[in-house]
Structure 1
Amino acid sequence: MGNKSSKKLSKDDIRFLVENTNFSKNEIKQWYVGFMRDCPDGQLTKKKFVEVYSEIFPSGDPNKFCNHVFRSFDHDGSGKIDFKEFLMAINITSAGNARQKLDWAFKMYDIDGNGTIDRSEMMEIIGSIYHMLSEGQQTEELDTPEARTEKIFEKMDVNKDNVLTKDEFINGCLNDECLYQMLTAEQNWQENE
């Protein structure tokens, strides 16, 4: 997906996005205009992605977190996100249901892509989130990434094998509002089920 660059959105692309997102044809066209304004070559680079996050979190350092989010959006591993990848990601993170958001979050936390999340992967993502947030944005005193990881594994690692499967991760989040909100940055937990 990431290598294709065109100035006009094809009818096939529009049809695909209408069928696979919650956006209407007109909304897709509006998103496309904005995407092309910001990324005239039709490709969102990691550098531009970090710039956007830096505007949202001006007091923190979003670089590490952006690398993980970008990796989870760049489905073909091209190092760039094309419009279809971008809109599919926006759809999941903004309009997806709880399971879709958790499925995406699991992929982000599963850094090595082996189908499980180990403690080091969880600590890496949590640490990158803490690094991104400035002290002014933190609403409560945060545990260390290690302490937060231990709490998460205590609640989620049902079979105590020191890794979280996708089922353990999703079920753990669906059964614990606090974990769901923390791991997906979602505020409307019950409305998304």
Structure 2
Amino acid sequence: MGAYGSNLDDILAEDMHHWYNKFMRESPSGLITLFELKAMLGLTGMTEEASSYVDQVFYTFDMDGDGYIDFVEYIAAVSLLLKGEINQKLKWYFKLFDQDGNGKIDKDEMETIFKAIQDITRSYDVPPQDIVNLIYERVDVNGEGELTLEEFISGAKEHPDIMEMLTKMMDLTNVLVIIVQGRRKSV
């Protein structure tokens, strides 16, 4: 959690009334569009991959597929990110990686998400291709070049270093802090 720990403690202590008021201040219509989410987080001038990642995050939280995040979806997303069990988080990661929705993650899908994360975080410590190759070497036991949900979850749990890497890279704590604090970046 790093520098966001104390902020997260504050977030966890908030009550539902506060969350609802904050949501309605940010989006008086009661719905958040993809455009509004990007504006709220100050995400402008992103690479195509980074923009695609934000789109994918939005669509995984838009559970009913109506093109909006409503208050229930918003609270579900916040709850998952803050208090979700490891299996829930891994299922969400899988859904995020599975861009075409075919129930399998291929190397290109995973690499695209990791590139996007690096573009957003501006952290380029390890090339995305190296991360993907490591994950597939250790987790793709059948050598098919695709991971099913079961392979992904069991592989992540069997390899603590992969689990730690996924958790660190997929951490959206900074996004929640921006939402909670109402901070908008102007770029």
Matched residue type, 1:166: L
Question: Structure 1 residues 180 and 88 mapped into 2: Cα distance closer, same or farther (>3 Å)?
Answer: same
Aligned pairs, how many?
A: 157
Matched residue type, 2:144: D
C-alpha deviation, 1:133, in angstroms: 1.6
Which residues of 2 match residues 7-18 of structure 1 at below 5 A? none
Separation of aligned partners in 1, 2:81 and 2:38: 17
Greater helix content? 2
Residue 157 (structure 1) aligns with: 140
2:16 to 28, 44, 58: 28
1:175 to 135, 158, 162: 158
C-alpha deviation, 1:60, in angstroms: 6.8
What stretches of structure 1 of length at least 5 have no aligned partner?
Answer: 1-22, 188-193
> 1:74 touches 1:81 (CA, 8 Å); kept in 2?
yes
C-alpha deviation, 1:69, in angstroms: 0.7
Residue 19 (structure 1) aligns with: none
Q: Percent identity?
A: 34
1:107 to 95, 110, 124: 95
Matched residue type, 1:142: V
What stretches of structure 2 of length at least 5 have no aligned partner?
Answer: 1-11, 172-187
TM-score, reference length from structure 1: 0.72
Return the structure number with greater relative CO, CA threshold 8 A, min gap 6.
Answer: 2
Which residues of 2 match residues 1-193 of structure 1 at below 5 A? 27-54=15-42, 62-134=50-122, 138=123, 141-143=125-127, 145-185=128-168
Question: Structure 1 residues 175 and 130 mapped into 2: Cα distance closer, same or farther (>3 Å)?
Answer: same
**Stretches (4+) displaced over 6 A:** none
Task: Give the structure with higher Rg (CA).
Answer: 1
Matched residue type, 1:168: E
Question: Structure 1 residues 182 and 59 mapped into 2: Cα distance closer, same or farther (>3 Å)?
Answer: farther
Question: Structure 1 residues 59 and 172 mapped into 2: Cα distance closer, same or farther (>3 Å)?
Answer: farther
CA RMSD of the aligned region, Å? 2.4
TM-score, reference length from structure 2: 0.75
What secondary structure sits across from 1:54 in the alignment?
A: coil
C-alpha deviation, 1:184, in angstroms: 3.3
C-alpha deviation, 1:115, in angstroms: 1.0
